[in-house]
Amino acid sequence: MKACVLIEPGRLECRDIEKPMPGAGEALVRVRAALTCGTDLKTFRRGHPMIPLPAVLGHEYSGVIEAVGPGVDGFKPGHAVMGVHSGPCGQCFFCARNQPQLCETIMDSKALGSFAEFMLLPEVVVKNNLFHKPDSVSFEHAALLEPLACAVHGVRSAMNGDGKIPAVHGVRSAMNGVGTTTAVHGVKSARSALEKVLVIGAGPIGLLHLVLLKRMGARVIVSGRGKKRLDAALECGADHVIDAAVSDVRREALALTNERGADAVIECTGRPEVWEESVWLARRGGTVVLFGGCPAGTRVGFDAGRIHYDEITLKGVFHFSPGDVREARDIIIDGGIPFGAFISGEYPLSELSIALERLLRGDGVKFCIKP
């Protein structure tokens, strides 16, 4: 099969490699759409400690089942599917405590390699996080499932886990006083706790947080760099954007929140200096969601008085749970995501390096690779 292999940072080669065959519980997917993401970009630029090279990158995908191994139920060759790249074991200390995103083995059996004609999905993914793709959803849009699930987890963390992020029809029903109890409760909780939110970072993850927050009725400020990304934030419904390259973010954010600060600040850059600044952008009693991961070993400092006396909640947020994935799937199927703001263009597999080089220049949000 054809695959785009990262030989070393900055060097990609399209090669013929052996087509994998699914074992017990596994599924082989013919990739129809694979999206670029920040992890791919970091790995392409400097490598990644959890991705030994040479390697086939890519983990945002959709496609068609090519073959399944023994013991797979519910999926057969020819079924169109959408999924993510990991799944919890369901048995460890954290899974037993309803924290499956922290599963002890969640990173041991990852589905990597969507920048290829075929991609092998391990049993934990097939069992937990693989879904049939309805005809109403394109393969390109279905491939957003994984990053959207991450954003669902981030927004739920900002809400302190209270309530469900409603689909479009759920919001409409709740606003008319009808609809499911879960959706109504989710809207009420979101409106009371998250009336004004600051999202720092206008990349794909920041924009997905923005879309989810707007679905809940929050007023959202987005701080970021680059005209194209800030324009995308406006297209996704941002109430205000702040160009961090030319503006004093703290002064503008406070001015837009009556000098109190935001109910929640969602940090999506992974830059230590932005982590430290974020606590000054939340109101007293507010929450700071540290979504953008800094490299392991990074040290940051926070003002102890600000954290203690103003009761600022700091929350590290990582990955997603199967519940987050199901919620993201429902949102995609419901059709309320402005997909055009996220997918900046398409390339064949042989031109993956062109897409990544464009992203390195800040030219685009995501690109769809069509094996």
Architecture per CATH, 2-144+342-370? Alpha-Beta Complex (3.90)
Cβ neighbours for 8, distance < 8 A, ≥ 6 positions apart: 47, 53, 54
Cα separation, 205 vs 36, in Å, equals 12
Arithmetic mean of pLDDT over the chain: 91
Classified as helix, coil or strand, 116 is strand
Cα separation, 241 vs 340, in Å, equals 19
In the chain, CATH 3.90.180.10 covers: 2-144+342-370
Mean pLDDT of 5-20: 95
Q: Tell me what pLDDT residue 168 has.
A: 47
CB 306, CB 279: distance < 8 Å: yes
Q: What's the CATH number for 163-316?
A: 3.40.50.720
DSSP letter for each residue of 27-76: EEEEEEEEE--HHHHHHHHH-BTTBPSSEE---EEEEEEEEE-TT--S--
> Cα torsion for 327, 320, 200, 213, to the nearest 10°?
20
Q: Tell me what pLDDT residue 194 has.
A: 84
Residue 182 has pLDDT above 90, yes or no: no
Mean pLDDT of 213-237: 95
In the chain, CATH 3.40.50.720 covers: 163-316
Q: pLDDT tens-digit profile of 116-132?
A: 999 999 999 999 999 99
Token pair of 312, please?
């600022």
Q: Tell me what pLDDT residue 117 has.
A: 98
Q: Tell me what pLDDT residue 166 has.
A: 59
State percent of the chain over pLDDT 90: 83
Q: Which H or E run contains 274?
A: helix 272-278
Q: Tell me what pLDDT residue 191 has.
A: 45
Dihedrals φ, ψ of 175, to 5°? -70, -20
Residue 177 has pLDDT above 50, yes or no: no
Q: Which residues pair with 219 in a beta bridge?
A: 196
Report residue 179's pLDDT band, with 50, 70 and 90 as the boundaries. Answer: very low
Cα separation, 121 vs 169, in Å, equals 32
Residue 169 has pLDDT above 50, yes or no: no
Sign of the alpha-carbon torsion through 281, 285, 291, 292: positive
